[in-house]
Each structure stands twice: as C-alpha cells, then as structure tokens.
Structure 1
C-alpha cells in the first residue's frame, strides 16, 4: 500500500532517495561527537546510563535531518542555477517541494518529541 499522495506528492520517494536528500552520512559522522558529550555528562554528573541515549540520538538525527531539509528548500533556486548542484533533488525536480516540507515536518517532530522525552530544558532549547 502506497503512502497517501497528500503527504508525498505525485512521486513516492524510496528510502535511498530520502537518505540521500538529508545526507545521512553527515549525520552518522556527527554521532561520535554526540556520544562523547553523552559519556562526558554521565561521568560528570553521575548519571546512570539508560534510555536517555535513545532520545539523544533521535534528537540529533531529527535536528540534522531538519537542518538539511530546510537548507535544501531554502537553496533550491541557488542549487538550480549552479552547475555543481543542479542534480540535487529539488533543483532537478526529482523531489517535490511538498515532499521536502513533509520530510522537514517529520524531522521537526522527531526532534521535538525526543527532546521533550529527554527533559524540559532540552525541549525548550529545541
């Protein structure tokens, strides 16, 4: 069963295209820094390791995905005019703006929910 077209527009994106759109490799590269901060906080504040790690990782992925989606949306016209970036999803038309905004909303929700489940301060900062 295909996702509703009002969410994704006329074309349904596959997982590989979505991961390419948000540059998942950049997100994965940033995770060691997130983990270092987590382990330093555990040691510094005598926090017992637990489910917080999951919320921290989901918040990091949500924040990075949201940032990349918004960057692609904002720079769409610039990317279309630049020969080096003309092949990007929005500039080339392989992804609709509706899909890009939907992905941005999904990543925003991921960030806010996971930050809220972490603690109130994290939610306020998100």
Structure 2
C-alpha cells in the first residue's frame, strides 16, 4: 500500500495535478453560460474527468518527450521523469490511460464531443515537440488550454457559438502571455540547447513586450465574450478586473525575475477562480 501511495505522489508531482486550476474555471464558465446557470451533476462530473484526464495526458506527453531536456536543466533535474522514480514505460502507460479516459468521457457526453476528442489530444501533445523547432510553442500551449471553454460549451449544447470562441481566444492569449513570463527562467538554457522559446531567440525585453501585448489581447477578447454572450455587470467586472490582475502580474515579473513562480502559479490561479465566481454571481442575479 505504501508503494502505491508513493507512486501516486510521484505521478502527482510529474503532472502537478494542483495546476489543473488553470483550465477548470474556464471550462465551467463556458458550461454555466451555455446552460444559463446550473448544468447538472452529470456534466459536472464529466467536465472534471475530461479536464483532468486531458491535462494529465498533455503533461505526461510533455514529461515523456522532455526527459532528455529536463535531465540537462538544473531547474528540472529533480522531476520524477528524470531522477528514476518513474520510468518511461510507466509514464507511457499513464499517457495512454488518460487518453482513453478522455475519449471515453467525450463519447458519453455527446457525438460532437467524441468527434473532437482525438483532434484535441493531437493539439495537446503537439506542444512538447513544436518548441524544438518553432517559437510559436507558447501560443500552442495557449491553444491547448484555450480548448477548455470550447469543450465545456460542446458538452452542454453540442455547438460552438461565437461567444465561446471569444472566451477561448482570451484564454489562449492569457496562457501564452504567462508562459512567456515563465520561460524567462530558462532563457539561457534554451539558448544553449537550441530550443525555440521566444526569450532565447529575442531576449527578455522583447519577451516582456509580447507577453504584455498578449495579456492586453486576452482582456479584449474576454470583454468581447461578455458582450457576445449578453452577460451582465458582474461579468464585465470579471473581464475588466482580469486586466488589473494581469497588469499586477506584469509589474511583479518586471520588478524581480525571482517572482516568476509567484506570478505564474499564485496570481493566475486567483484570476481563474475570481473570474469563475463573478460569472456565477452574474448568472445568479441576472
């Protein structure tokens, strides 16, 4: 039993399960807006399973593909995929199991969700390889998480309305923007190992500018989402408030690069939760 518990802890560390907080709020925001309120216990369970299995799959592929890179990077040498706690076979099985769970959940939701499940997995897996030859990897990561709202509305209504696309575009630029900030930590390592991150190719100043631009676009698309979905005051507060949060994140990193972890994990986690809570309030009082 102790061995099983330890393996579970190792897999949790591998994929950083607690960071699912980035994708979960926005999949449920989309579901609440699509259903105009509570969407039911069944879809809640299916939404959680889909989001968690998709993220586990994506992180598993990333860790599997990056074993050689992580072994060279001093920041990542203690990860379970590098230090021997999890071998490649175990990680591969973990990837396959989570892919199967995601496809099965999509099948149980509706036919459109099932039809989109494999293409979504392809997109989720692509990030791990695109960064080896293109600086667009940051945007691809954004697309991977930006699919969450699309998945949420498909689960509820088996359709993809304009507002869900605008919400997703906001998530794409939000994630790409904070991934740029996070990648500043590995700027020198990426440059030395011929990896195509924007910091390694264009430097810190350009990265900060592009990140700020992406975050401005995120707020713009979230405002357009609120307008297109015909939401109320609290939804506008959520979109505008996210702008202030992202401004704080940008200033935090510019002031001190050692604050990157705080900006990446803490600030972005609060943003998603606050946005979600304000959408609930908006749908409750309107």
Runs of 4+ in 1 over 4 A off after TM superposition: none
* TM-score for both structures, normalised by structure 2: 0.38
Task: Spell out the pairing of 1:1-126 with structure 2 (5 A cutoff).
Answer: 14-43=7-36, 49-126=40-117
Question: CA separation of 1:120/1:82 partners in 2, compared to 1, >3 Å: closer, same or farther?
Answer: same
Query: How many residues matched?
Result: 116
Instruction: Pick which of 47-56 and 27-36 moved more.
Output: 47-56
- Structure 1 residue 28 displacement after superposition: 3.1
Any idea what the Cα deviations from partners look like across 1:9-55, whole Å, max 9, x if unmatched? xx865221111111101113421112111101111xx8853412211
Higher relative contact order (CA 8 A, sep 6+): 1
Q: Contact conserved, 2:60 with 2:91, CA < 8 A, in 1?
A: yes
Alignment RMSD (CA, Å): 2.2
* Structure 2: segments with no counterpart, 5+ residues: 118-286
Partner residue of 2:227? none
1:110: how far off? 1.1
**Of the two, which has the highest radius of gyration?**
2
Partner Cα distance (2:86, 2:50) in 1: 25
CA contact (8 A) 1:42 1:49 kept: no
